[in-house]
């Protein structure tokens, strides 16, 4: 196995994943726009802005597999999302093609399907229903991964992440929570499973209240170790003020932002 790279290493998820990746792979290349000042043994750093093809080429040099967390991580104005998550992601995949990268873990999001009601149980074949400009960019990312897998042979596991944290902190997250150690297991499948070509899976741990059927991940050998219900007593006390829009949909507050739609029609769709 060649070098493993993680982009977006300075973010919250990146910092959770760093020690887990080091433990499994020994050496990890980290990247973000600004340097990290806390590198550990087994880590190296390469600064990169996804909008700069030359920096991308330097970042990907000698790399075989990438956990791609980089980009805009929450809702933002269109120009910001466009630059980081659409133009930047296209640059990233072109860089991977030029560098000979074989595997990518693409950090997709539950916000690609956020406008489904919480009364719906989904599999990955349900059509996408993004709840935000950010969600649109994740739908684009899954489509781009499909193109680069079929046309250029870059195998990608797109993980529609619910919420990564040490434990679920409210009722919604009891349905979508993903422990970092379970995310590492999904990353290992994406990097190491011989049959990965282009696959979308749900990024969740063992969630008894799940809205998603994660059969494709289980067929690849995924066996989450962490149970959301172990934290239910605490999580059920963590809800904030009622949200008349967000509380209806899987995407939560992202759905409520700027909402001017016909609620009845959205719920029937």
Residues annotated as catalytic (active site), given as ranges: 134
Could you tell me which of 175, 185, 168 has the C-alpha nearest to residue 237?
168
Query: 62: exposed, middle or buried (C-beta count within 10 Å: 0-12, 13-18, 19+)?
Result: exposed
Quote the tokens at residue 184. 């590492």
Q: What is the four-CA torsion angle of 220, 167, 138, 2, rounded to 10 degrees?
A: -50
Instruction: Tell me 10's DSSP state.
Output: T
Could you write out the three-class secondary structure of 193-251? CCCCCEEEEEECCECCCCCECCHHHHHCCCCCCCEHHHHHHHHCCCCCCCCCCHHHECC
Could you tell me which of 33, 47, 96, 91 has the C-alpha nearest to residue 67?
96
Could you write out the three-class secondary structure of 186-200? HHHHHHHCCCCCEEE
d(CA 227, CA 114): 23
User: HSE of 169 in the Cβ direction (CA atoms, 13 Å)?
Assistant: 6
């Amino acid at each position: 196995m060649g070098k493993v790279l993680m982009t977006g290493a300075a973010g919250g998820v990146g910092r959770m994943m760093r020690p887990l990746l080091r433990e499994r792979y020994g050496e990890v290349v980290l990247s973000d726009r600004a340097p990290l000042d806390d590198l550990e043994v087994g880590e190296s750093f390469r600064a990169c802005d996804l909008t700069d093809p030359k920096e991308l080429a330097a970042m990907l040099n000698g790399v075989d597999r990438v956990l791609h967390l980089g980009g805009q991580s929450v809702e933002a104005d269109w120009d910001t999302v466009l630059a980081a998550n659409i133009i930047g992601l296209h640059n990233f995949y072109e860089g991977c093609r030029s560098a000979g990268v074989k595997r990518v873990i693409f950090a997709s999001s539950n916000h690609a399907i956020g406008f489904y009601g919480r009364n719906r149980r989904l599999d990955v074949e349900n059509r996408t229903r993004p709840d935000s400009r950010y969600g649109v960019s994740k739908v684009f990312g899954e489509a781009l991964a499909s193109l680069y897998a079929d046309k250029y042979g870059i195998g990608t596991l797109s993980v529609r992440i619910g919420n990564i944290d040490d434990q679920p902190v409210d009722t919604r997250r009891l349905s979508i929570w993903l422990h970092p150690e379970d995310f590492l297991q999904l990353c290992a499948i994406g990097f190491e499973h011989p049959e990965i070509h282009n696959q979308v899976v749900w990024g969740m741990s063992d969630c008894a209240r799940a809205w998603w059927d994660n059969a494709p991940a289980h067929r690849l050998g995924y066996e989450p170790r962490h149970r959301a219900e172990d934290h239910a007593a605490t999580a059920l006390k963590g809800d904030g003020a009622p949200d008349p829009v967000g509380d209806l949909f899987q995407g939560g507050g992202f759905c409520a932002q700027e909402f001017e739609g016909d609620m009845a029609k959205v719920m029937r769709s």
